Amino acid sequence: MKREGKRRVRASTLRVLSALGVAALVCLGLALHTGTGTPSSFGIADIAALCPLGGVEAAIASRTVVPPLLIGLAMVIVLTLLLGRAFCAWGCPVPLLRRVFRGKKASKRDASSRDSGPLDVPASERGGLRDSRNWVLGGALLSTAVFGFPVFCLICPVGLTFATLIAVWRLFQFNEVALSLLVFPAMLALEVLVLRKWCSRFCPLGALLSLVSRLNKTFRPVSNEATCLRSSKGEPCHQCADVCPEGIDLHDASGSAPMHECTKCRACADACPMHAISFPFLPKRVGEDGDGV
């Protein structure tokens, strides 16, 4: 049990450090004046790792596609094809903000409580027409085309986080006091505290990454049947499914969200008492021998 607790803390800490690292890259870009595009980007010279939704919205709003934009989008697409929706767990600031605004225990309780309905649709219908994220994504793109500017970027928690960092940066660098120092954090607190299920119900960026992740086949979770309590001993263990924030059940495909919804957060691997879940580069066939995580 002690070992399991240490593993869980380590994975959680790594996710926090990873999100902080993304924010640090943005701050580094501000300090060195590198990167182009929206505040949600960082890079070198004219090549930036761009928010894919922001990039698509910018192209729709301007009705122009430029090479740096295509390069930035290509970088994001390649990473998503390789890592799936890993950004949602390891790079997005929303989980980190949730820990700050609501506390560590509340965030864990929300992620692990199946009674509270972590998804807005049955897990098996995740990513389909009934998934509200896809409707928000469509609305974001349509409103951009109608109004001629990226409407969603005004309320995007990712963009608001980086915009807040920029406002704080300008405060210390130029002694510039702006209303954004109050407005942006207030909007972030509202989205995290009031729209408590932002990630599962509203986030169009998550919906876009989910669409691209349909082609992702790497680093998917695999349960070793030889060591899994449920498959090897017939015990009614559901710990991996209970902690999955995306509603993925490795043992019940009919009631599980699609595997491309996996964010590689490793919550399932940390929760497994037998360490039977691993994330190989290319998943092995179910039941194939292998070492636990």
* Nearest-10 crossing angle of helices 2-32, 93-102: 110
On whether the CB atoms of residues 269 and 293 are closer than 8 A, the answer is: yes
Q: Which has the higher per-residue pLDDT, 286 or 143?
A: 143
pLDDT at 258: 92
Total residue length of the chain: 293
Q: How far apart are CA 58 and CA 64, in angstroms?
A: 8
Grade residue 223 by pLDDT with cuts at 50, 70 and 90: very high
Q: How far apart are CA 1 and CA 290, in angstroms?
A: 22
Residue-wise pLDDT for 108-164, tens only, equals 545 444 434 457 788 878 888 889 999 999 999 999 999 998 888 888 888 888 888
Q: How far apart are CA 288 and CA 285, in angstroms?
A: 6
Answering whether pTM is above 0.85, one says no
pLDDT at 171: 85
At position 48, the amino acid (one-letter code) is A
- Mean pLDDT of all residues in 8-32: 78
Grade residue 255 by pLDDT with cuts at 50, 70 and 90: confident
Q: Which has the higher per-residue pLDDT, 174 or 217?
A: 217
pLDDT at 34: 62
Least confident of 60-69, 136-145, 248-257, 271-280: 60-69
Average pLDDT, the chain: 80
Grade residue 288 by pLDDT with cuts at 50, 70 and 90: very low
pLDDT at 293: 37
Q: How far apart are CA 274 and CA 293, in angstroms?
A: 9
- Mean pLDDT of all residues in 243-265: 91
Grade residue 214 by pLDDT with cuts at 50, 70 and 90: very high
Q: How far apart are CA 173 and CA 30, in angstroms?
A: 11
Instruction: Please state, for a pLDDT cut of 90, what percent of the chain lies above it.
Output: 30
Instruction: Please report which helix (H) or strand (E) contains residue 194, including its range.
Output: none
The alpha-carbon radius of gyration of the chain (Å, integer) is 20
pLDDT at 292: 39
- Whether the pLDDT of residue 87 is over 80: the answer is yes
Instruction: Please state, for a pLDDT cut of 70, what percent of the chain lies above it.
Output: 81
Triad 138, 142, 147: Cα angle to 5°: 150
Sorted by sequence, the CB contacts under 8 Å of residue 65 that are 6+ apart come out as: 59
Residue-wise pLDDT for 164-194, tens only, equals 888 888 888 778 787 888 888 888 888 887 7
- Whether the pLDDT of residue 286 is over 70: the answer is no
- Mean pLDDT of all residues in 81-86: 95
